[in-house]
Structure 1
Amino acid sequence: MAPANKGPWLFRDIEWRKLWGRQDYANFCLTACIIIAVILVTVLAEPHVVPYVIWDGRIAYPLNSELNTIPSWVAVFVPLVMLALTIGLGEFLAARRMHNSVTDAVSTAVYFFLDGVQSFIMGLLLTQVFKVMVGRLRPNFLSRCQPIVPANAVFSLQNITASISETDNYPCSNTDLGVLKDGRQAFPSGHTSISFNLAVYASGYLIWVWHWRRPSFAHRLSFGQEFRNDLVNVLAKAWMLAMLCFAWGVGISRIIDFQHDVSDVVGGALLGTMIALVYLLRAIPRWRRVLEADRGSDRAMVGAITTSGDVEMPLSGAGNGAGKQHSTAMGGPLEAV
């Protein structure tokens, strides 16, 4: 059956009841539980306490609270906008010919966008759990802590080992527990994990929708058509690289701002990428169910009608001819089912 997508797609033509009825609500319930878990871990869990020494140059960078190369809201909002634009262009441009109606296109776009958001939320949970479990100190921890050091304290290479066991002799003078708690949650980088999660999800979706989902051409294209397809392909790859470069830029900014070191950023990037791939590889095989969710009830209704003896079929003849026509009319829907 050829897609019935002739004419412009109008917003008023969207069947909202059908659109929301096609979504994966079981997964939404799991996401709600994950959100509750993120809140509980963030509020109640205390990070693992790692001992520190005041001469450790890795945690002696300045706080630079006024330095914020990429604000937190930008690191979240921009990748979400990129994800929405990528899915919108994929469903309404690259895969438009595969949809029967604007409702099918919007249903698929909403499905993938919400799945990407759920991947983002799962990334938040795992990132926060690992931060609490590891308890790694940020590069600016000493500036946060402001340890009290006696004026007559002398340190040398000979007494380093002994001084490590005496770390408690130099407690933090900063009484802001929130600042100190955040200073013990360096690994992995949350900003990097979130940015890579959304960028990798959008990039993977873009590769799938452009190279595997679009139907192949049965005939040879003209030079102009080939050039246009190649140009759009190049633009799609440039957009994918832009998303990944932005995510990497977020990670670099966390190093510049003395919030994380290189290993924290790499760990966040790997974690975000892993979660995004898991969710994307789960979402792609299930996306057809979004379009077929309302067709199952239609099949059930047809089956009930064809197996019932209460439905009258129009008969144009009598005797054996009528019975044969009745059998054919009944057999057609059954074979279709």
Structure 2
Amino acid sequence: MAPASPSSASAPRVAVQLEVARGGAQETRGDGHSSVRTVPISILVTSVGLAVTVLASTHPAQRFPLTPTNAANYDFPFKGDHETVPYVAVVVLGIVAVVACAVAEGLLQRKGSRIKQTNGRCAAVLDALRSPAAHVLVCGLDAAILTGLVTQALKDYVGEPRPDYLARCAYVDKTVPSWSACETQEALDSDIVVRDGRRSFPSGHASTAAVFGVFLAGYWAMRIATPDVRLAAVRVLRAPDWVHEFVGVALDLFPALPLFAACYIAASRVADFRHSPGDVAMGFLLGAAFAAHGLARVARLASPRTCLEEESQRLINNDVDVV
């Protein structure tokens, strides 16, 4: 039996690499086979982890005993539900930003990718889940969910009081200092409000704003503010040179907007007396780290549209069959 030719031996590996360029949803293993990342499982695992963490967080640790000497650090006004930026707004705007990134990825890949056509609804759904746009969406949401999971776990583990902790306590005996009432659970305020007063470190607003803001800024700089997109914008506008320069500057500066918004949200937590600057700094660093991890997954899984064109031309030149 004649040995296989080098081109035929390398065909499976090259074919798998082409599948990566087509859908951006597969990774090549050392044995030449492909492993498909299942989108629903990725979201399900992280969501279940976050749900378990939130449900298990009943009573934060009391590692910072209040004394008359340190009570002044936690005696700032309590504003109740009057927040500069509500947490729900941060989450909603962040999800919208991730969805916008996924839509942009779909538009970028639509003309350059020749994804294998399949028949049937189930096959069409699988193709959609394997698309680069789906992976951008999953990477962004995974980063946000993991950020929330770690943030919530650290809040309960550390148990640092918020700057407005004492103001949450309406002690029974007016002759007893409020810090004593809080420590002996004699507060008249809602038990949930008092317990939440011991979840200062790290800031959830800062970590959530950072993960969404850094992810959007990084995706824009990595995928939108590129020479190809800038050239396409110039061709569409057909405007004078100064307009082209303005478009280029706008594309380069846009990533600063989500970063500025994230910094503003983080700073508002200090202004609202909900966190100390250290809480905000740690939360922002935590969110930025998970956003960087999500962007690394995007760079690995979602290939640019030029990758398919270059790979296809190389395969044609080498006379290798495309699967």
TM (normalized to structure 1)? Answer: 0.65
Change (3 A) 1:30 1:97: closer
Question: Bigger shift: 40-49 or 191-200?
Answer: 40-49
What residue is the counterpart of 1:176 in the other structure? Answer: 190
Cα distance in 2, alignment partners of residues 141 and 38 from structure 1: 25
Q: Which of the numbers 43, 46, 61 marks the counterpart of 1:48?
A: 61
CA deviations over 1:107-160 (Å, ceiling 9, x no partner):
32232122201111111101111111111111111112334567388xxxxxxx
Cα distance in 2, alignment partners of residues 54 and 77 from structure 1: 41
Contact 1:61-1:143 at 8 Å conserved across structures: yes
Cα distance in 2, alignment partners of residues 78 and 168 from structure 1: 35
Matched AA of 2:292:
L
Residue 33 (1) aligns with residue 50 (2): no
Matched AA of 1:64:
K
Cα distance in 1, alignment partners of residues 90 and 134 from structure 2: 22
Change (3 A) 1:88 1:179: same
What residue is the counterpart of 2:165 in the other structure? Answer: 141
What residue is the counterpart of 2:268 in the other structure? Answer: 253
What residue is the counterpart of 1:299 in the other structure? Answer: none
What residue is the counterpart of 2:133 in the other structure? Answer: 109
Question: Bigger shift: 262-271 or 23-32?
Answer: 23-32
What residue is the counterpart of 2:86 in the other structure? Answer: 71
Residue 280 (1) aligns with residue 304 (2): no
CA deviations over 1:23-45 (Å, ceiling 9, x no partner):
96535424322222222222223
CA deviations over 1:296-320 (Å, ceiling 9, x no partner):
xxxxxxxxxxxxxxxxxxxxxxxxx
Contact 1:147-1:170 at 8 Å conserved across structures: no
Contact 1:79-1:195 at 8 Å conserved across structures: yes
Deviation at 1:167, TM superposition (A): 8.9
Deviation at 1:268, TM superposition (A): 0.9
What residue is the counterpart of 1:185 in the other structure? Answer: 199
**What is the DSSP-based 3-state SS (H/G/I as helix, E as strand, rest coil) of the residue aligned with 1:336?**
coil
What residue is the counterpart of 2:9 in the other structure? Answer: none
Cα distance in 2, alignment partners of residues 28 and 207 from structure 1: 28
Question: Bigger shift: 188-197 or 254-263?
Answer: 254-263
Q: Which of the numbers 313, 320, 323 marks the counterpart of 1:335?
A: 320
**What is the DSSP-based 3-state SS (H/G/I as helix, E as strand, rest coil) of the residue aligned with 2:196?**
helix
Deviation at 1:190, TM superposition (A): 0.7
Cα distance in 2, alignment partners of residues 99 and 225 from structure 1: 32
Residue 204 (1) aligns with residue 228 (2): no
| Identical residues among aligned pairs (%) | 22
What residue is the counterpart of 1:83 in the other structure? Answer: 98
Cα distance in 2, alignment partners of residues 283 and 267 from structure 1: 25
What residue is the counterpart of 2:148 in the other structure? Answer: 124
Unaligned 5+ runs, structure 1 = 1-17, 154-163, 293-331
**What is the DSSP-based 3-state SS (H/G/I as helix, E as strand, rest coil) of the residue aligned with 2:255?**
helix
**What is the DSSP-based 3-state SS (H/G/I as helix, E as strand, rest coil) of the residue aligned with 1:273?**
helix
Unaligned 5+ runs, structure 2 = 1-21, 27-34, 118-126, 308-316
Cα distance in 2, alignment partners of residues 96 and 27 from structure 1: 20
Deviation at 1:181, TM superposition (A): 1.7
What residue is the counterpart of 1:240 in the other structure? Answer: 255
Cα distance in 1, alignment partners of residues 111 and 248 from structure 2: 17
Cα distance in 2, alignment partners of residues 285 and 225 from structure 1: 37
